Amino acid sequence: MARSVSAEKQREYDQLKRFFVHWETHLTPHRVLGLEHPHNPINVLAAYERQLGVSRVLPGLKQAVNDILEDFEDFSPQEIAAADASLARAGAPTMSQLWQGRSRHYKAILRRGRLRNDTEYYLASSIVCDTASQVPPDELDLLDRMVANYALQRT
């Protein structure tokens, strides 16, 4: 049964969904399935939303958006500007805005010194695994320990 969700979480979900849907319908270079296909990511999201509700789907949507951001960290400034303009016209958060929020989230994780949930785990893991990362070695060591500790707690 779907649980109720706070107004703040609903706003966050709506914004991330707007980004995700616009990305999948207008910007993705990797569309494999047609928009009408039941396994298209938009249709899968809609099915989970109906079955589980926003509160249970939000963490997965955050991870999907983070995956999109990870895949396109190497966009040229022109590509980012074009994607941002398209997203802004659609009323969705831009890639730049989401990257900025991700950076704040990353800094909060470092200050706290531990991971609280799977979304933070995947964010930290992606940074640790990024061989082209410009993250200082001491931060990478800290993140690596946090990832290992969180993984142990989950098992």
Structural domain spans, the chain: 1-94, 113-155
Q: Could you read off the pLDDT of 67-112 as tens digits, one per residue?
A: 899 888 778 888 888 999 999 999 999 998 998 888 888 899 999 9
Residues with Cβ within 8 Å of 94's Cβ and at least 6 positions away in sequence, in order, are: 83, 84, 87, 88
What is the model's pLDDT at position 128?
85
Higher pLDDT, 134 or 86: 86
- CA-to-CA distance for 109 and 120, rounded, in angstroms? 8
Q: Could you read off the pLDDT of 6-28 as tens digits, one per residue?
A: 999 999 999 999 999 999 999 98
Sign of the torsion formed by the C-alpha atoms of 120, 126, 127 and 128: positive
Residue 92 region, left (φ>0) first, then alpha (ψ -120 to 50), else beta? beta
Q: Could you read off the pLDDT of 42-66 as tens digits, one per residue?
A: 999 999 999 999 999 999 999 999 9
What is the model's pLDDT at position 1?
52
CB count within 10 Å of CB 97 equals 15
